Amino acid sequence: MMLPIVDFNADNAAEEFVKSLHETGFGVLKNHPLQKDMLESIYKNWAGFFADEKKHDFKFNVETQDGFFPDTVSETAKGADKKDIKEYYHYYPWGQCPEELREEIHAYYEQATAFASTLLDWVEQHSPAEVSVNYKEALSSMIKNSEQILLRILHYPPITGDEEVGAIRAAAHGDINLLTVLPAANASGLQVLKKDGEWLDVPGDFGCLIVNIGDMLQEASGGYFPSTIHRVINPEGADRTKSRISLPLFLHPRPDVVLSDRYTAGEYLDERLRELGVK
């Protein structure tokens, strides 16, 4: 398994991208339309947010899941026994947000969601007929007017040596949603699990966009699109003193969307959040 980098502007981009999603659960795009200077500015401004103790004024709301998740609560991946070494913020347009950061993060949220909708159309167009016949509605329509689409701003602090033995930045996990849209972070570390059990580095050049399948699209496609396990490993050497910021957008359908004969999106999410210990 390899992760090919697909040029968003190439004639066969959609086909190649969806082929990569089917074969690996991941697709990597270059020359995508999400602006680099905007991303750089978001990374810088949110590094400032995480460095300021005022972040605790925005502590997450357990019922609605918006706001700041400190490292003392942050997730323990399904099946893992150590907490991840990370803190993060969940941005929803209806949720809490520091006023000085709202305009920029909201603009990104809107752009990235619109772009993601195009990617869902690509997935739909290039799904084999025997797969797409089981989609209960168009994939891009599943996220239309969804209030559950989640933009997560993640901060992985520098490694101090006081971490629990065996803890890593993000333990091996699959994402819950339909698709995740992840601009390359400001540092490496993301890896995907190959079918042979080996870990593979995800291309992390700034300017690449990484897209991966989540469990809900795996469910809706009857497994044709695999939700591939991934993780973020700790840096080595001089990079241990650097923090890492990343910005995944998790495409969550409206709760009433029927994913399969077994689940609506709402039922599916509830079950998974309980397993993560955050609900």
Ligand X SMILES: O=C(O)CCC(=O)C(=O)O
Nearer to ligand X, 131 or 153 (CB): 153
Token representation of residue 69: 């998740």
Assess 216 for contact with ligand X (CB under 6 A).
Answer: no
- Contact residue for ligand X among 25, 67, 248, 253 (CB under 6 A): 248
Single-letter residue type at 217: L
Assess 235 for contact with ligand X (CB under 6 A).
Answer: no
Closest to 172 in 3D by CA, of 198, 151, 153, 152: 198
Token representation of residue 275: 């397993």
Phi-psi region of 271 (alpha: psi -120 to 50; beta: other; left: phi over 0): alpha
Assess 84 for contact with Fe ion (CB under 5 A).
Answer: no
Assess 154 for contact with ligand X (CB under 6 A).
Answer: yes
Q: Say how many residues touch ligand X, by CB under 6 A.
A: 11
156-185: which residues touch Fe ion (CB under 5 A)? 175
Q: Which does 83 bind (CB under 5 to 8 A by kind): ligand X, Fe ion, none?
A: none
Residue written as tokens 């990079």? 239
Question: How far is Cα 86 from Cα 49, in angstroms, rounded to an integer?
Answer: 14
50-89: which residues touch ligand X (CB under 6 A)? none
Residue 130 forms beta bridges with which residues? none
Assess 219 for contact with Fe ion (CB under 5 A).
Answer: no
Nearer to Fe ion, 175 or 219 (CB): 175
Helix, strand, or coil here: 49?
A: helix
The site for ligand X (CB under 6 A) is made up of 152, 154, 170, 175, 182, 185, 190, 230, 232, 246, 248
